[in-house]
Amino acid sequence: MFSEFLQYLFTGITIGATYALIALGFTLIYNASHVINFAQGEFLMIGGMATVSLTSMGVPMILAVVLAVLLAGILGIALQRFAIAPAKQADVVTLIIITIGASIFIRGLAQLIWGKEYHVMANFSSDEPIQVFGAVLNSQSLWVLGIGAVLVVGLVLFFTRTLIGKAILATSMNKEAARLVGIRTQMVLMLAFMVSALLGSVAGIVVAPITFTSYDIGIILGLKGFVAAAIGGLGSGVGAVVGGLALGVVEAMAAGYLSSDYKDAVAFSMILLVLFFLPRGLFGAKVVERV
Amino acid sequence: MLSKMMRRAGKCAAVAAAGLMMMSAQAAEPIKIGSFLSVTGPASFLGDPELKTLQMYVEKINEEGGVLGRQLELIHYDDVGNASSARNFASRLLRSDQVDIIVGGSTTGATMAAVPLVEQAGVPFISLAGAVVITTPVKKWVFKTPQTDRMAAERVLGDMKARGLTKVGLISGTGGFGSSGRAQTLEVAEMMGVEIVADETYSGSDTDMTAQLTNIRNTDGVQAVLNFGFGQGPAIVTRNYNQLGIDLPFYQSHGVASDSFLELAGDSAEGLRLPASPLLVPDSLPESDPQKEVVQNYKAEYEARWDSKVSTFGAYAYDGLMLAVRAIEAAGSTDPEAVRNALESISGYVGVTGEFNMSPEDHNGLDADSFRILEVQNGEWKLID
């Protein structure tokens, strides 16, 4: 009985951690620009795919990971420079549509380069599952959780302790005012896209051994990550993490205790409930518009 | 009198000449083979080898002089695995491209979306999708090349019974293939006296099926597990199954019968069994097997041309195209009614998938024995039955 519960919990937390990492990427860009970057899933895909193809070309794993993350970072900058920045004063909805277009473009490119098959990545450490009180835990889940935790702490420090982090926050609060105090807002936006791309690609790399990876993996995981971010309240880092974990655990518990048929319906109802009672999500800021 | 005869002969000659001219004009006109396939999207592993197969053999047939002295022209669209675009493309093939025959429809959903249009237009249609609903009940213009999922269920449950396993835990995908397979398995199980003790599902985009498998493992009396699904889902199920250390015989459906599945599932696939086309084990077939040569040729030609491994799905397209060509040759024209009748009376055609014996009651023409039971041993397919 207990081992069952524990098994569902492990499963839920692993999936949830993945969602949380993706949700964080959404949060970061939302914070800086109020744009929801629907190409976030594509950063994730680039991370996984680039690592797989580099390792299959004989590049050592660690180097492949670094190169893949760099590639995603460059892609993030390129996205901001060549797609978002030229739109200048366009409103937020237009920018969001641009990110959707960019994601389709990146996906198409990835399909041309890497083909349409699913690719496998080996577990970072042993393939042997870990036994805990009768439940099993994939060793890769520990990597997902560990790296996820490190990234979350890193992000918190980045926003509270570094000048660049604070500049991003300032830009999100008021672009004009930020510019007046000497913040180069275009640069800040570019940084936000880059950091969020780095974040997404790391997420894509750590989950690839569990989920496999393919050119279109970003659609599914990106959507779930967005849902997690919305539950947590777009723009809140803590919210993204809580939202992701909650979504994962609810999905797993629903599959285990209710019926696997209703799993997605349960997750969906959860979003509706949260947004119905807390339109800004669990941790959304209560912003008052002053006129 | 004489002049009358002369005039009549002249008239005959004129008519004959006009007829000849018309015939030669017709000869120059290609036979149009239409196709809509899921070349990209979640079912791309079906559509991609199917399209490559069609392209390759249309080229080959044209080089060898075409069919009835006419060249083949392949007109194809990518439906991305989406039923409504499949319907649009089918409509375009019928109305504006005015194709002579359609060979396509990678998924059951795409096929069924096109069926009403095809039936209305009265154009022969050979589907490459699996579900039993495509040809049962028989539809006048619709044929298909893969075995039905019902046959797969019969074959799997039969093999289980032979091993003395009668209590089965079932897990299936919620997509068209999985849910149809699930329904057929439940029906066949009842007929064969096999009990389905657990019944779980997962959606195609799920990345972890541990919760469902835990439920199956904890079900009392379960003796074997069957997974019905395609795509990356079954590979994740296989990995989770192995991680959970479930110590029961494990079966998959023909939906994963390809070498790329072995790559994805890795060591965790060891010991699992599935019903599959002989294409996966061409060299282990006995010399007496009539399919051996066809299967070996297809594999060699495909792999030489595309530098990638063959899959059973491409073979469905091969059989579909060859059946179409055969029927057009037998009909002697591309008249839809004649081609349809010829298709319906094809018998003894040995394809890659099996031996086809069509009839007015059977637009699939295969039996369950065309599936072979394979087992994964040391990372390779091994022919069991």
B138-154 burial, b at 16+ Cβ within 10 Å, e below that, comes to: ebebbbbbbbbbbbbbb
- CA B266 to chain CA centroid, nearest Å: 26
Q: Please tell me the distance from the alpha carbon of residue A82 to that of residue A146, in angstroms, as a whole number.
A: 34
* Closest partner CB to B202 (pick from A4, A8, A260): A260
CB A172 within 8 A of CB A31: yes
pLDDT tens digit sequence for B69-125: 999 999 999 998 888 999 999 999 999 999 999 999 998 889 999 999 999 999 999
Best residue of B182, B214, B256, B308 to probe chain A, by most A CBs closer than 10 Å: B214
A8 touches chain B (CB under 8 A): yes
How would you classify the pairing of strands A135-137 and A130-132? antiparallel
Q: Which of A11, A118, A264 sits opposite B211 (nearest CB)?
A: A11
Residue in chain B closest to A3 (alpha carbons) equals B214
- Per-residue model confidence as pLDDT tens digits over B245-255: 899 999 999 88
The partner residues of B200 in beta bridges, in order of sequence, read: B171
Residue pairs between chains A and B whose CB atoms are closer than 8 Å: 79
Q: Which two tokens stand for residue B347?
A: 């018998």
- Looking at the predicted structure, is the pLDDT value of residue B313 above 70? yes
Instruction: Please state the φ and ψ torsions of residue A245, each to the nearest 5 degrees.
Output: -60, -45
Which pair of structure tokens corresponds to residue B317? 């397209």
Residue B77 host element (H or E): strand B72-78
H or E segment and range at residue A79: helix A61-79
Q: What is the mean pLDDT of residues B224-246?
A: 90
pLDDT tens digits for range A216-264:
888 888 888 998 998 888 878 888 999 999 999 998 998 888 888 887 7
Query: pLDDT tens for residues A180-214?
Result: 988 888 888 888 899 999 999 999 999 998 888 88
| Candidates A15, A111, A116; nearest CB to B207 | A15
Using the Cβ of B259 and the Cβ atoms of chain A, whether some distance falls under 8 Å is answered with no
Backbone region of residue B273 per phi and psi (left: phi > 0; alpha: psi in -120 to 50; beta: other values):
beta
Beta pairing partners, B170: B199, B226
Partnered with residue B373 across adjacent β-strands are B275
A109 touches chain B (CB under 8 A): no
Instruction: From chain B, pick out residues whose CB is under 8 angstroms from the CB of A261.
Output: 174, 201
Q: Strand, coil or helix: what is B281?
A: coil
**Closest approach of B66 to chain A, Cα-based (Å):** 32
A136–B243 C-beta distance less than 8 A:
yes
B45 touches chain A (CB under 8 A): yes
pLDDT of residue B15: 57
Gap from B173 CA to chain A (nearest CA, Å): 10
Closest chain A CA to residue B239: A210
Strand partners, B102: B34, B125
At residue B356, the 3 state secondary structure works out as strand
CATH 3.40.50.2300 placement within chain B: 29-147+291-368, 150-284+371-383
- Which of B203, B210, B264 is nearest residue A264 as measured by Cβ atoms? B203
Structure tokens at A136: 């099993």
Spatial distance between the Cα atoms of A153 and A235, rounded to a whole number of angstroms:
16
- Contact (CB<8Å) B218/A4: yes
Residues in chain B closer than 8 A to A252 (CB atoms): 208, 210-211
Tell me the residue type at B342: A
- Tell me the mean pLDDT in the region A104-126: 87
R_g (Cα) of chain A, nearest Å: 19
Q: What distance in Å separates the CA atoms of residue B375 and residue B372, rounded to the nearest whole number?
A: 10
Q: Which CATH fold topology does B29-147+291-368 show?
A: Rossmann fold (3.40.50)
Of A3, A207, A212, which to mutate for an interface test with B (greatest number of B Cβ within 10 Å)?
Answer: A212
Residue among B211, B215, B232 minimizing CB distance to A118: B232
Residue, of B223 and B43, whose pLDDT is higher: B223
Nearest to B160 by CA among B250, B33, B89, B37: B250
pLDDT in tens, A260-272: 888 778 877 888 8
**Residue of higher predicted confidence among B61 and A280:** B61
Question: Does the structure show a pLDDT above 90 at A120?
Answer: no
Q: Any residues with CB less than 8 A from the CB of B166 and at least 6 apart, and which?
A: B160, B193, B194, B195, B223
pLDDT at B345 over 70: yes
Please tell me which residue of chain B has the smallest CA distance to A5: B211
Coil/strand/helix, residue A277: helix
Closest CB to A129 among B207, B243, B264: B243
Residue type, B256: V
pLDDT at residue B16 is higher than 70: no
Contacts of A12 in chain B (CB under 8 A): 211
Is the pLDDT assigned to residue B273 strictly greater than 90? yes
Give the minimum alpha-carbon distance from A48 to chain B in angstroms, rounded to a whole number.
15
What's the topology of domain B150-284+371-383? Rossmann fold (3.40.50)
A190, HSE (Cβ side, Cα atoms, 13 Å): 12
In the sheet where B167-173 sits, what is the strand order?
Answer: B195-202, B167-173, B224-228, B250-252, B273-276, B372-377, B380-383
Average pLDDT over residues B134-146: 92
Minimal CA separation from A56 to chain B, in Å: 13
A56 touches chain B (CB under 8 A): no
The number of angstroms, rounded, from the C-alpha of A250 to the middle of its chain's C-alpha atoms is 19
Instruction: Dump pLDDT digits (tens) for A46-85.
Output: 999 999 999 989 999 999 999 999 999 999 999 999 988 8
Give the pLDDT mean for B200-228.
90
CA distance A153 to A225: 19
Residues of A with CB below 8 A from B201's CB? Answer: 260-261
Q: Coil, strand or helix: which one is B376? A: strand
Average pLDDT for A129-133: 84
ipTM of this predicted structure? 0.83
Q: Is A42 left (phi over 0), alpha (psi -120 to 50) or beta?
A: alpha
- Judged against a pLDDT cut of 80, whether residue B126 lies above it is answered with yes
Nearest to A11 among B41, B200, B210 (CB): B210
Q: Please give, rounded to a whole number of angstroms, the shortest distance from the CA of A43 to a CA of chain B.
A: 18
Nearest one of B149, B296, B161, B166 to B229, comparing CA atoms: B149
Residue A57 has a CB neighbour count (10 Å cut-off) of: 8
Q: B382 forms bridges with which residues in the sheet?
A: B375
For chain B positions 194-223, those within 8 Å of chain A (CB to CB) are 200-203, 205, 207-208, 210-212, 214-215, 218
Cα–Cα dist B221/B217, whole Å: 9
**Residues A283 and A23 sit within 8 Å (Cβ to Cβ):** no
* Domain positions in chain A: 1-121+133-277
Question: Which of B40, B202, B264 is opposite residue A120, by nearest beta carbon?
Answer: B264
* DSSP H or E segment with residue B343: helix B336-344
